[in-house]
Amino acid sequence: MKKAFRDAYNRELALLRERAAEFARDYPGLADRLGGLLEENLDPTVAGLLEGSAFLAARVQLKLEEEFRGFTREMLDQLLPGLMEPVPPAMMVVARPPHADADLVNGVHFKRGDLIEAVYRVEEKRVPVRFSLCAPLSLWPLALTELRYLTTKGQIGVYRPEVLDKARAGLMLELARVGLTGEADDSAPLTDLRADALTFHFAGPMEEAVPLYEQIHARRLRVTLRWDGGQGMVHQTLPPDAIEAVGFGPREGLCPQDAIRTDLDTEDEALLPRDDRLFRGFALLREAFIYPRRLLGFRIKGLREIWPRLRAARVQIVVEFDALDHRLQSQLEASDIVLHAAPAVNLFIEDASPKRLDRASYEFNITPLSSPLTHYEFHRVTDIWAHYQGAQTRRRVNPLYGLPEGAENPRHALYFTQRRKPRRRTESEIRQGVSREQYLGTETFVSLYEPPGSGTVQRLEARGWCSNRHLADPRSKVIRQGRDDFYFCDQREIALACFDGPTQPRDSLADLESGAPHRTRAGDIYWRLLSHLSLNAYGVTGRPGAAPAAALREMLMLFADLSDSVTETQIAGIQDMTTEPETGSIPHPEGYLTARGLRITVTFDEEAFDGSGIMLLGTVLDRFFADYAAVNSFTRTVIRSLQRGEVHAFPRRLGNGRVL
């Protein structure tokens, strides 16, 4: 018996017994004729009648609640698409460049979405565990050979003469040219490289990676390239915007003079497949909480014109900081920063098995074409087509509330709705005693609407994003850190190793309350979701009866996994948020125009971020506020802490709110 039904039954039975006791007090004579209605002397026949009535009433209550959930799911799937989907595993991988390839100087490039796979063997059958890259990846004949955290001006002066007066610490990274043998080759100069940008990711523990992230993105004073020019060391100072954050995709782009950020990027770096219906700021928050590790890194750009002058085989990148972080003094190693790395998520496009329709069922289970079915789960159904008997062409089926393509009349179009149900264990899993901790996942069911006179659909074809259910779960030990388990599906000679993750697969936010700790069930999760529709009307700072910081915390809790006590503590660490108008210039095709913007100050309690820091969450909020702001305005985010005061003031960012 399900717990929800048992609770409903007990509630209904208690209510019936209470009403029976009231009836016995008001009409004692009738109660005696019925054999007694009080619980201590209840007639067995009457007791059975009450229990049967409670049983039926509980079934009705559960059905009503299920109808509410079904209606709410459909509405939220249109307003906040993606929140109803399960969360697939994510990880960081590092590739092994093919150094024997002489064309590596031109780079080996992979796009976001390219597939990598490892092979899982079960019962003499090979099951591919596939991940998609979440960001573009380029491989070059380079290796990071040395990494030093510089703690004094004297140490900085070894690598950069004329140290800045404000400099208190520094970071030195040495890159070396790698030869055909895979080892550093000091006889091969860097002159012929064609890389315009190099991306670095942090591989150390979070308590080390987040402080390093703050140093590079909040405490950076100057970036210098240093190499041996033959007659002495050459120093090349890079522009202030040469270093940018990673993982935010088309949000970076530094405008000159006024340092106003615009939305001019060229490559998406989203963790999950993008849905244009979902507000991009919400997608950013959701993905940041799913896998924050992918944001820990930096990118150096504008290098293409520098390589021809590099006659040396090694180059050093020297970054000066205005503050010293004692946590990094003796902990940084060369392996804590990696080159040729990218995030990946356990999602891939998969066709569904053709489903023949029958009139005895109103919904149909959509299953992946690959087998066994226990190793595949539909994350999102993207396309459905209907086939009619005797017809050569297929007809597209639109999602509910969607509009048909072309000039087709919406009244004559086909529509579908989908719902997910928890997957039941198979007989084999029951016999083998599958662990309760193993992720079971869901099954996807589709209902079809056919307009009158459209004919009878014979079968359905579907396609969508799939995951490997529990196979990518770290507890299954299919994927282990440090091993070359993965290969590109199109280029098998390039191996990849996981150095962080994979994360555990999780149920969707809507199913969180069924298996999560009690603290995540403060009210029905669906009502919490619906309450956030007020953001469209009031925004974050204009909600009546709520402090801005409380509204921000409640919104972040919507996208976070509150079963993780660390995440809950960090969100509770947001103490205050204030806004004030600010005037500044914004870029325009004809020059710069004056505009009014908003200065947003967020105050954190750093004790809630013990072991990491506030910079990463502050950076995410900075991008979110810009996405939330209207066009022709800007935001300027300032993060403060109760312990240190002002930590960082971000550059102005143009509002990216949609016009239509």
From CA 375, how far away is CA 379, in angstroms rounded?
13
Residue 120 pLDDT level (bands cut at 50, 70, 90): confident
- Backbone angles phi and psi of 409, in degrees to 5: -70, 125
From CA 61, how far away is CA 8, in angstroms rounded?
7
From CA 279, how far away is CA 639, in angstroms rounded?
24
How many Cβ atoms sit within 10 Å of the Cβ of residue 360? 5
DSSP secondary structure letters along 449-496: E--TTS--EEEEEEEEEEE-TTTTSGGGTSS-TTS--EEESS-TT-EE
What is the token pair recorded at 579? 């806004």
From CA 406, how far away is CA 401, in angstroms rounded?
16
Residue 256 has pLDDT above 50, yes or no: no
DSSP helix/strand/coil, 382 = strand
pTM (2 d.p.): 0.85
How many Cβ atoms sit within 10 Å of the Cβ of residue 566? 14
* Length of the chain in terms of residues written: 660
DSSP secondary structure letters along 262-296: -S---S---SS---TTS-HHHHHHHHHHH-GGGG-
Residue 262 has pLDDT above 50, yes or no: no
User: What is the 3 state secondary structure string of 517-573?
Assistant: CHHHCCCCHHHHHHHHHHHHHHCCCCCCCCCHHHHHHHHHHHHCCCCCHHHHHHHHC
From CA 226, how far away is CA 160, in angstroms rounded?
8
- Residue (of 598, 642, 647, 645) closest to 618 by Cα position: 647
What is the token pair recorded at 451? 């307009």
DSSP secondary structure letters along 71-127: HHHHHHHHHSTTTTS-B--EEEEEE---TT-GGGGG-EEE-TT-EEEEEEEETTEEE
- The set of residues, in sequence order, having a beta carbon less than 8 Å from that of 652 and lying 6+ positions away, is 258, 259, 260, 261, 584, 586, 597, 634, 635, 636
Instruction: Say what the alpha-carbon torsion angle 427, 428, 434, 439 is, to the nearest 10 degrees.
Output: -80
DSSP helix/strand/coil, 224 = strand
DSSP helix/strand/coil, 160 = coil
* C-alpha distance from residue 77 to each of 74, 141, 443, 463 (Å): 5, 46, 17, 18
What's the pLDDT tens digit per position in 361-399? 889 999 999 888 889 999 999 999 999 988 888 999 998
Burial of 312 (C-beta count, 10 Å sphere; 0-12/13-18/19+): buried
Residue 301 pLDDT level (bands cut at 50, 70, 90): very high
Q: Write down the pLDDT at residue 263.
A: 34
What is the token pair recorded at 255? 């405008």
Residue 510 pLDDT level (bands cut at 50, 70, 90): low
Percent of the chain predicted with pLDDT > 70: 89
From CA 127, how far away is CA 378, in angstroms rounded?
16
- Residue (of 146, 363, 281, 183) closest to 558 by Cα position: 281
DSSP character for 425?
P
What is the token pair recorded at 472? 């990518």
Query: Measured in Å, how far apart are the chain's first and last C-alpha atoms?
Result: 49
Residue 252 has pLDDT above 50, yes or no: no
* C-alpha distance from residue 349 to each of 131, 369, 372, 469, 636 (Å): 10, 11, 17, 14, 39
360 or 295: which leads in pLDDT: 295
What's the pLDDT tens digit per position in 583-607? 988 776 777 878 889 999 999 999 9
- Yes or no: say if 442 and 98 are a contact pair by the CB < 8 Å rule: no
* DSSP alpha helix (H) spans, 560-637: 565-572, 615-628
Burial 257-271 (b: 16+ CB within 10 A, else e): eeebbbbeeeeebbb
Q: Where are the beta strands (DSSP E) in 328-483?
A: 337-339, 341-345, 348-351, 355-356, 364-366, 377-388, 394-399, 414-422, 442-449, 457-467
Mean pLDDT confidence for 611-629: 91
Residue 564 has pLDDT above 80, yes or no: no
What is the token pair recorded at 309? 């002058």
Burial of 73 (C-beta count, 10 Å sphere; 0-12/13-18/19+): buried
**Count of CA atoms in the C-beta half-sphere (13 A) of 642:** 11
Q: Write down the pLDDT at residue 280.
A: 85
Residue 171 has pLDDT above 80, yes or no: yes
Angle, in degrees to the nearest 10, between helices 280-290 and 548-559: 70
What's the pLDDT tens digit per position in 203-250? 999 989 999 999 999 999 999 999 998 888 999 999 988 999 999 975
Q: Write down the pLDDT at residue 526.
A: 67
Mean pLDDT confidence for 436-464: 88
Lowest mean pLDDT among 162-171, 423-432, 610-619: 423-432
Vertex 618 angle, CA 169 and 533, to 5°: 175
Mean pLDDT computed over every residue of the chain? 85
From CA 490, how far away is CA 494, in angstroms rounded?
9
The strands making up 169-177's β-sheet, listed across from edge to edge, are: 142-150, 169-177, 314-321, 220-228, 233-237
Q: Write down the pLDDT at residue 383.
A: 94
How many Cβ atoms sit within 10 Å of the Cβ of residue 72? 18
What's the pLDDT tens digit per position in 44-92? 888 888 899 999 999 998 888 777 777 777 777 777 788 788 999 999 9
How many Cβ atoms sit within 10 Å of the Cβ of residue 83? 20
- The set of residues, in sequence order, having a beta carbon less than 8 Å from that of 88 and lying 6+ positions away, is 272, 345, 346, 347, 379, 467, 472, 505
**Count of CA atoms in the C-beta half-sphere (13 A) of 313:** 10
What is the token pair recorded at 409? 């009349």
- Yes or no: say if 91 and 131 are a contact pair by the CB < 8 Å rule: yes
Q: Write down the pLDDT at residue 246.
A: 95
